[in-house]
Amino acid sequence: MIRFVFRRLFLMAFMLLGLLAITFVISHIAPSDPAALAAGPDANVEMIERYRLEHGLDQPIYVQFATYLERLSSGNWGKSILTTRPVADDLLLYFPNTLELVVFSIAIAIVLGIPLGVIAAVHQNRLPDHLIRILTVSGVAMPMFWLGLMAQLYFALHLEWFPLGGRMDMMTDPPNPITNLLIVDAFLSGDFEVLLEALHYIVLPALALCFPALASIIRVNRAEMLETLKQDYILNSMAHGISKFRIVAMYALKNAMLPTMAMIGLRFGWMLGGTVLVETVFDWPGIGLYAVQATISSDFEPIMGATIVLGAFFMFTNLLIDMVYAWLDPRVRGQI
């Protein structure tokens, strides 16, 4: 297992390098002048050319890329034109909000998706299965941003059950930043009033973000449960009089979870990308909204920084999923 982890980390380094190269090239072939943007709207031609020379923007692109890698290795991620702060500081500020939203969303999808997939398989072609299939088709068909807008119109504006957007009320004092995760910090600080408020604000964006993942988890888990319930060892267990609940929950579900875990890992990564839309709709102060605002302003350093962080986290998440996969399946452990 240790050899497997080190091999994957080694490959992750090469994948990150490729991601860096692609992002860097795209940012430098975009129809805008980084030197003019960084110099400011009031800069004249001479000032722009001076900035270009001082920061090496007149060098070939491979030289600029090598310089960029050198800066990254020293912890210098550049400076945002939009916020005038170092990109690394902005990412440390916004990424915990995105991580909290994604983790909360995937938790909802897992807690609801796996039991619903099992129920649909056990009651195949009956009323519960038909109702759950309507849910899964809706989840696959509905875009996240459209679902978020409809949730805002109905639950926030019409029923007034939830806030329209944001992370918390502007007048609320946040808890002490222990982990920089608002819900966790509020719980650890014992500030349950802020905890309830944070949960109140996260419900609508989390539901909008998790709905496609919920549908995918249900579909995969249902299909694998149907296949597993036909296996000889399941039929043999039923013939020996073992309770159906024990067979489904302990024998069939464990094997059906293998492809489901792979889907959870993929959906977690897709959620990180999906936050761009959801955070924009709900004005959620995360890395997705930060990247959108940087894109509108043609602020390339934050875009590249956000891409690196999201890409690295996606790769790390898939590594964890592979390790859980190996723990569930002894055959995979033998190959590792």
Looking up tokens 């590594």, which residue turns up? 319
What is the C-alpha to C-alpha distance for residues 204 and 24, in angstroms, rounded to an integer?
35
Comparing 34 with 247, the larger pLDDT belongs to: 247
R_g (Cα) of the chain, nearest Å: 24
What is the C-alpha to C-alpha distance for residues 18 and 6, in angstroms, rounded to an integer?
19
Examine residue 79 and state whether it is found in any structural domain, yes or no: no
Comparing 220 with 325, the larger pLDDT belongs to: 220
Position 218 pLDDT exceeds 70:
yes
User: What are the distances in angstroms from CA 283 to CA 191, 195, 272, 286?
Assistant: 24, 19, 16, 9
Its sign, for the CA torsion 319, 321, 324, 328, is negative
What is the C-alpha to C-alpha distance for residues 304 and 322, in angstroms, rounded to an integer?
27
CB atoms within 10 A of CB 33: 13
Full DSSP string of 88-120 = HHHHHHHHHHHHHHHHHHHHHHHHHHHHHHHHH
CB atoms within 10 A of CB 301: 21
Comparing 250 with 309, the larger pLDDT belongs to: 309
Average pLDDT, integer, range 288-297: 82
Examine residue 146 and state whether it is found in any structural domain, yes or no: yes
Facing residues of 79 across strands?
86
Q: Which domain holds residue 159?
A: 95-335
Examine residue 82 and state whether it is found in any structural domain, yes or no: no
For residue 283, which amino acid is it? D
Looking at residue 116, its pLDDT comes to: 92
Full DSSP string of 273-314 = HHHHHHHHHHT--SHHHHHHHHHHTT-HHHHHHHHHHHHHHH
For residue 108, which amino acid is it? I
Picking from 144-158, 190-204, 222-236, 315-329, which range would have the lowest pLDDT averaged per residue?
315-329
Domain count, the chain: 1
User: What are the distances in angstroms from CA 133 to CA 147, 166, 215, 260, 295?
Assistant: 18, 33, 9, 17, 38
What is the C-alpha to C-alpha distance for residues 336 and 318, in angstroms, rounded to an integer?
16
What CATH number does residue 236 fall under? 1.10.3720.10
- Where does the pLDDT of residue 34 fall: very low under 50, low under 70, confident under 90, or very high at 90 and above? low
Looking up tokens 């909290």, which residue turns up? 100
What is the C-alpha to C-alpha distance for residues 180 and 78, in angstroms, rounded to an integer?
22
Examine residue 294 and state whether it is found in any structural domain, yes or no: yes
Looking at residue 81, its pLDDT comes to: 74
Examine residue 134 and state whether it is found in any structural domain, yes or no: yes
Looking at residue 230, its pLDDT comes to: 80
Average pLDDT, the chain: 81
Looking at residue 159, its pLDDT comes to: 87
Examine residue 191 and state whether it is found in any structural domain, yes or no: yes
Examine residue 35 and state whether it is found in any structural domain, yes or no: no
Q: 173-200 burial string, b = 16+ CB within 10 Å, else e? A: eebeeeebbbbbbbbeeebeebbebbee
Q: Judge contact between 251 and 237, C-beta under 8 A.
A: yes
Which pTM was predicted? 0.81
Q: Judge contact between 186 and 172, C-beta under 8 A.
A: no
Question: Under 8 Å CB-to-CB from 301, ≥6 apart: which residues?
Answer: 77, 78, 79, 80, 81, 87, 294
Examine residue 31 and state whether it is found in any structural domain, yes or no: no
Position 329 pLDDT exceeds 60:
yes
Looking at residue 33, its pLDDT comes to: 61
Q: Per-residue pLDDT tens for 79-128?
A: 787 777 888 888 888 888 998 999 999 999 999 999 998 898 888 888 98
What is the C-alpha to C-alpha distance for residues 303 and 21, in angstroms, rounded to an integer?
13
Full DSSP string of 8-33 = HHHHHHHHHHHHHHHHHHHHHHSSS-
- Where does the pLDDT of residue 32 fall: very low under 50, low under 70, confident under 90, or very high at 90 and above? low
